[in-house]
Amino acid sequence: MSETAKLVYGDKSLEMKVTRGSEDELGVEIGALRAKTGLITLDPGFMNTGSCQSAVTFIDGDKGILRYRGYSIEELAEKSSFLEVSHLLLEGELPTKAQLDTFTSRVKLHTMLHEDVKRFYKGFPKDAHPMAVLSAVCGALSTFYQDSLDIDDPAQVDISTVRLIAKFPTMAACSYKHSIGQPFLYPVNAHDYTSNFLHMMFATPCEGYEVSPVVSKALDLLLILHADHEQNCSTSTVRLVGSSQANLFASISAGVNALWGPLHGGANQAVIEMLDQIESEGLDGRKYLERCKDRNDTTRLMGFGHRVYKNFDPRAKIIKKACGEVLGQLKKQSRLLDIAAELEEVALKDDYFVSRKLYPNVDFYSGIIYKAIGIPVNMFTVLFAMGRLPGWIAHWKEMHKDPATKIGRPRQVYTGATERKYTPIAERK
Ligand code: SDX
């Protein structure tokens, strides 16, 4: 017998069905609320509002649990690869060897950009932010693949998925090459996914680039850790844009823009800028934290806090451990890592952070690895987007398969002027 919840308002009452998820999360179904009671819900930031039922990713924010399709992030980080995790998110199951080989070779066949797409880059200023370039070029791809925009044709959705996953590294590397005035490199498909990206970023026509296995593995790990995170801001954006039946390229381009914000994916760049500022100005970490606590100061401890995790972000734990390993293997030191660790240690003993359950999130340490492997700071969020791409597409596909899906169109409570007559300009004061 299904559970229900009852709402009473004045002389009206409504019995609502309560849906229990596979991990015992409960959602009250309010579909009849306005018709039966005249009420709507009001929930800025959707703090208490579920937009959908989803089988892609599970997060338990109180226990610090993250699972993609039921597999723990810890196991996937240790045992899987980014393309295998992409297949898992997109298809719902870990691939067999044959399936992974097929997926990998299909991706390899689509890593090149149409030669005319490259001309877009020439139009951008050298100092254009690569997230602006990525979203623009991603949207523009729909003009090159007009034969595969039909959201209801599984074959067209499939080829668009492969094209996006294959081309994002090439698109990213081209934005970097444009910014430094170097020629674009073609992908070399003998490389694996992350090695190909590193080659396109750091090789030149006159100098090869020896891809370090340590670096390509660290990058693969970071892509796995960023691959999905249920209904975060950018994924919700992809779902909302997709709900209007906009094509996949347009929906993903919107997700890139949402991710760019410093409160979301842009935080990884903001963290390194914060650590650089503390180091270059010789700031006292404790004093910096006092500014982060001061309501009159807009400074925030970037990379700390999370809407869902009220315990450690499991990804931050994995990345912090990987920082030490990668720096050790590369025989590099990082003063920024020391500063970050000091900030974390002090913050986790400070009541302001403890009482608000603010812990390091995925962005707090990730930039230290990106920096150690030579990625420019303004490319950090682009790498977040590269990782999140399979998650965005998995949610977009799930949304279109869900019979409950309708175009997303929230209501509001109007607080503006009540009706008034037009005043001729001569009579206005
Ligand atoms: C990502 O949703 C996802 O899953 C996102 C993500 C993913 O994988 O997709 O995990 C990736 O976006 C991680 C978050 C990256 N952003 C940052 O690191 C930016 C710094 N963090 C914050 O701005 C904040 O913690 C958010 C945006 C992450 C969450 O904000 P919420 O849930 O809206 O919480 P809030 O802003 O209402 O904060 C609650 C309180 C407030 O204080 P009071 O009003 O209670 O006095 O905590 C304070 C905030 O001022 N607070 C912080 C803080 N984060 C929250 N104070 C100082 N420094 C911070 N970082």
Best of 48, 257, 292, 306 for a ligand 1 pocket test (most atoms within 8 Å of beta carbon): 306
Query: What is the Å distance from ligand 1's center to 307 Cα?
Result: 6
Enter the pTM of the model: 0.97
pLDDT confidence of residue 1: 66
Pairwise CA distance, residues 81 & 195, whole Å: 13
Spatial distance between the Cα atoms of 408 and 385, rounded to a whole number of angstroms: 23
pLDDT, residue 69, reads: 98
Q: What is the pLDDT of residue 387?
A: 98
What residue ranges line ligand 1, CB within 6 angstroms?
Answer: 45, 229, 232, 263-265, 267, 292, 300-308, 356, 358, 361-363
Which residue is closest in CA terms to ligand 1's atom 8?
A: 229
Q: What pLDDT is stored for residue 315 in this prediction?
A: 98
What the block records as the tokens of 224 is 């796995």
**pLDDT tens sequence across 95-111:** 999 999 999 999 999 99
153 CA from centroid of ligand 1 (Å): 39
Task: Give dist(CA 164, CA 140) in Å, integer.
Answer: 12
Which residues of the chain are modeled with pLDDT < 70? 1
Structure confidence at residue 269 (pLDDT): 94
